[in-house]
A and B are shown apart, each in its own frame.
Chain A
């Protein structure tokens, strides 16, 4: 699964730490999501979509391996 979290975070000028605080997870979790090492739960994906004011489908997309 690919995602645009890093790009959207840069657009909003947010650090990993501040984004993590807003969605209630650790900075390491945000880092893992950005590096596609961890697929977030639906709840976390929805929280991220609220922060970036984008739909989940705009933030995350399936890749060939999924």
Chain B
């Protein structure tokens, strides 16, 4: 029984593809600013958000150079932390909007919520990884 083999993750070289996609998404997001191309604003945002989400998902599912039981434990801790953060922010956001704007609605969409959960996951994972090493 090897815990690092129980969790099926992508090989380490997928990290390169994830970073390439991240860079491509950032460059794409700059195109309208440079007035090189005109895209419908909504479609542009959708492409950018999809690009970030795909890159983050690839990064989150890619093995470390040395993946072992400790990194898997840190992944599980960070994933559960990100999930709890997502649920808590989903519940509290309309309440905060009610206090600030007076409207009991959530202004953040699903994609934004997922991106913020990924950001939380990466921050937690790298803090735990370097704090405990």
Contacts and interface: CB of A to CB of B under 8 A. Distances in A.
A58 B129 CA distance: 28
A41 B3 contact: yes
Contacts, number: 34
**Looking at chain A, what size class is its interface with the partner chain?**
10 to 19
Nearest to B68: A25
A15 interface: no
A43 B133 CA distance: 20
A32 B2 contact: no
Interface string A17-53: 0000000111011011000011011011000000000
Q: Which of B1, B3, B71, B132 has the most CB of A within 10 A?
A: B132
18 contacts: A25-B69, A26-B64, A26-B66, A26-B68, A26-B71, A28-B70, A28-B129, A28-B132, A28-B133, A29-B68, A29-B71, A31-B133, A32-B133, A40-B69, A41-B69, A43-B2, A43-B3, A44-B69
Interface of A: 24-26, 28-29, 31-32, 37-38, 40-41, 43-44
Interface of B: 1-3, 64, 66, 68-71, 73, 129, 132-133
